[in-house]
Structure 1
Amino acid sequence: MYCFLLGVVLLLIASSYSILSETLYNENFSLAVGDINPVLLGDRPYVGFTYTIAFFICLFLASKTNNKLESALMVVLSLVLVSFLFLIAARTSLLSIVLAGILSIFYIKNIKLKLFVLLSIFVSGLSLILFNQNFKSRLTLGFKQKQLSFEKVIKLEPRYYIWGCVKDIVEDRSPSFFGYGFAATQEKLNLCYANSQEFNNNDQQSWFVDKKFNTHNQYLNFYLSTGVLVFLVFSITCFFCLSTNINVFFALALNVSVLLFFMVENVLSRQMGVELCVLVLLFSKAINVLNTEKESNRLTKYKIVKDRAVK
């Protein structure tokens, strides 16, 4: 875990330096729109998810260690990571942290700490919406709006049209038991982009045709490409991962985050996505093992103290 965090810190330093350089020497640079992947040293959703994993690992290590200095360092690093996610407006990653914060209420026993977590979520969410210009610009793809409405935000989101095409494909002919296949699914999507009447204008439609967007949803991708059987196996596997980690908060938070990530990206279609999923599985197992050892040591100490008291 510490080696992973070291790699994340180095990535964070390199990305911060690149952002600072671009901000100082490039007047047209924007973190909200455009190709910022070279600056982040990776695709924003995947880099953001890497920082999300590191955020939960930091908090876990802070709660596990008895070393006050180490605990303080882990907390500070977690705050730096979430601040960077705010800066780059990594929407899915921030949503994962908010959702995990809400789930933590069911695991935290201290009432004051519960209230602090809820207040932190509320203040952070409000700050993100009201004061984070990068986040606002990402909602509109950089197009300035006189009046921003929920309908405008939805219709400026690419997934609105992508998932609309998925709906049209399924309604036209549901995938067979074994699906269309990955290549055929992409061809159907490309054809839908070319023929759809839902786009705001021709430029937007041409952009979709040129980009050839995939389903941007791992569940839909498996359903269309591999059929009902693989979709069910994948869904059951996801449920199994949740159920086996439900008693340990940080392991659950990691799994909830990756399942949420599956809802907006074809994560397993990319090598980095597969690697991140493997890390989530490994870290979840490690957290469970360490948590069990800590609980076992606590019970052992309690038993020793109790036996001495009886004697």
Structure 2
Amino acid sequence: MRILLAAIYPYAFLLLYLIIPFDNYIRALPNILMAILVVAFPFIVKKEDFKKLKSLPIAIFLGLFTYLLIDSFGSGRLQDDFNIIKKVLIAVGLAILYIPVADVRKINSAIIFSSLAAIIFSVFNFVLITDATGSFAFGDSPQVVESLLIDRLYLGLLCTFSILISFQSIQKKYHPNNNYYLANILVNAVFIVLIASKIAVVALFFLILIKQFYGQRKIWKLVTAIATIGILTGLFFIIKNEKDNQSIQTENTKNPTAFIENSMTYELRAVVWNCAVNVIQDKGFSLTGIGFDATKDQLAACYETQITNIDKREKFVAQRYNTHNQFLDFYLSAGFIALLLFLVFMGVSFIKVRHQFFPTAMLAILLMYCMVENLFHRQIGAYYVGFILIVLMTGKHTEKTTE
């Protein structure tokens, strides 16, 4: 029985990460696979496997989950906040469930094929929608938004993972698989540009910049670093100007379409961040927070007073938009202690993996996405944070230098 479970276990893990983007279509399967992993874990895990858990970042992250649970229970809001807390558990739980798996390359392959499957699905939908509507447009067009398998932010995150894994898998000496990895990098990079996933584009340029600090010091690396900094600066001003133009367009349009409202991601974040700051100022310093559900209530109350456009105000209040920033969310919902634990996790993780490009790059991706999204408010976000935790936990065993 144990031999059979040990044979099935890695493929259950692989299948889980392969089908994550298709959660809306096969909602029960990820939960079934998680149940299989949880049930099989005690039967196949070995004593030496637990050595992988001797990771300070994982211990701190587990401490964050424990604190969130105790804080919520002690404040009498566990029932309201458990939906978010359990996603933190999913992330750290995946890292723990991973330890019997001997080869992380299986999960890396699952990420690559998952990204390609999501791209193929989205392109197929785009062709169908374009044929039905008779119009053709990329970027922020309705066709693109409607055709994507998952939200653009998370699809961009998945494509970024796939590019980074492919780059890390390319061997210095010629190998036939190098061609496939290069092709995968090209496909994912082009797709990111076509769907206009700005955070993914920025993340990729930051990864290029980070890469220049690894390997031998060469003059072309300095040139690349300077060029990348210039491009990132240009992107900043482009995004800023786009945000200003969107604000002007919204003010001049009395009844903006639902698509325009949903696509103005930077304006949305500007509003919710401003309200989050207002709530922090009203509440003052908080050691233990007000709860995840109560935070959304406070933000909704702020939208009612701060947003003058009636249609826009009703949209924000009805959707009860969260903070769209994981750091703000932890502080408002669980207080300074939770924020401190999360920052310590980030800092310790960087110290531990700073000499290795791949885990450092994954940590940088986590940092960038936490600045614009509450990853633990979505199950798909929890799964991908779990993947990052696995990389951080196993980085020293899997790192392979590429120059």
Give the TM interval when normalised to the shorter protein.
0.7 to 0.9
Long gaps (5+) in structure 2: 1-107, 253-263
The structure 2 residue matched to 1:220, chosen from 328, 346, 355, is: 328
Deviation at residue 41 of structure 1 after TM alignment: 1.0
Deviation at residue 51 of structure 1 after TM alignment: 0.8
Aligned residue for 2:359?
251
- Rounded to whole Å, the distance in 2 between the matches of 1:55 and 1:129 is 26
Aligned residue for 1:76?
183
Worse-superposed segment, 29-38 or 230-239: 29-38
The structure 2 residue matched to 1:190, chosen from 292, 300, 309, is: 300
Q: Deviations over 1:248-304 (max 9, x none)?
A: 112211110111100111101211101001112223444431337x79xxxxxxxxx
User: Secondary structure of the residue that 2:290 maps to in structure 1?
Assistant: coil
The structure 2 residue matched to 1:279, chosen from 369, 380, 387, is: 387
Amino acid at match of 1:86: V
Does 2:263 correspond to 1:157?
A: no
Long gaps (5+) in structure 1: 147-153, 296-311
Q: Which has the higher contact order (CA 8 A, sep 6+)?
A: 2
Deviation at residue 44 of structure 1 after TM alignment: 1.2
The structure 2 residue matched to 1:19, chosen from 111, 121, 126, is: 126
- Rounded to whole Å, the distance in 2 between the matches of 1:246 and 1:18 is 41
Aligned residue for 2:160?
52
Instruction: Please say if residues 209 and 228 of structure 2, whose CA atoms lie closer than 8 Å, have aligned partners that are also in contact.
Output: no
- Rounded to whole Å, the distance in 1 between the matches of 2:183 and 2:325 is 33
Percent identical = 23
Amino acid at match of 2:185: S
What does 1:39-188 correspond to in 2, within 5 Å? 39-62=147-170, 64=171, 66-108=173-215, 109-116=217-224, 119=227, 140=246, 143=249, 157-174=267-284, 176-188=286-298
- Rounded to whole Å, the distance in 2 between the matches of 1:141 and 1:25 is 31
Aligned residue for 2:340?
232
Amino acid at match of 2:246: T
Kindly tell me: are residues 157 and 214 of structure 1, through their superposed partners in 2, closer, same or farther at Cα, counting changes over 3 Å?
same
Instruction: Please say if residues 217 and 266 of structure 1, whose CA atoms lie closer than 8 Å, have aligned partners that are also in contact.
Output: yes
Does 2:379 correspond to 1:266?
A: no
Instruction: Please say if residues 130 and 143 of structure 2, whose CA atoms lie closer than 8 Å, have aligned partners that are also in contact.
Output: no
Kindly tell me: are residues 175 and 36 of structure 1, through their superposed partners in 2, closer, same or farther at Cα, counting changes over 3 Å?
farther
Worse-superposed segment, 8-17 or 64-73: 64-73
Deviation at residue 207 of structure 1 after TM alignment: 2.1
Instruction: Please say if residues 144 and 195 of structure 2, whose CA atoms lie closer than 8 Å, have aligned partners that are also in contact.
Output: no
Instruction: Please say if residues 22 and 29 of structure 1, whose CA atoms lie closer than 8 Å, have aligned partners that are also in contact.
Output: no
Q: Deviations over 1:196-217 (max 9, x none)?
A: 1xx3622222221222110111
- Rounded to whole Å, the distance in 2 between the matches of 1:32 and 1:138 is 16
- Rounded to whole Å, the distance in 1 between the matches of 2:334 and 2:222 is 43
Amino acid at match of 1:44: R
Kindly tell me: are residues 54 and 125 of structure 1, through their superposed partners in 2, closer, same or farther at Cα, counting changes over 3 Å?
farther
Amino acid at match of 1:176: S
Number of corresponding residues: 281
Kindly tell me: are residues 119 and 240 of structure 1, through their superposed partners in 2, closer, same or farther at Cα, counting changes over 3 Å?
same
Kindly tell me: are residues 124 and 79 of structure 1, through their superposed partners in 2, closer, same or farther at Cα, counting changes over 3 Å?
farther
Deviation at residue 39 of structure 1 after TM alignment: 1.8
Kindly tell me: are residues 13 and 118 of structure 1, through their superposed partners in 2, closer, same or farther at Cα, counting changes over 3 Å?
farther
Deviation at residue 43 of structure 1 after TM alignment: 1.2
Q: Deviations over 1:173-222 (max 9, x none)?
A: 225321101111111111110111xx362222222122211011111111
- Rounded to whole Å, the distance in 1 between the matches of 2:265 and 2:292 is 27
Kindly tell me: are residues 167 and 138 of structure 1, through their superposed partners in 2, closer, same or farther at Cα, counting changes over 3 Å?
closer
Amino acid at match of 2:330: F
- Rounded to whole Å, the distance in 2 between the matches of 1:129 and 1:224 is 30
TM-score (norm 1): 0.78
Kindly tell me: are residues 255 and 139 of structure 1, through their superposed partners in 2, closer, same or farther at Cα, counting changes over 3 Å?
farther
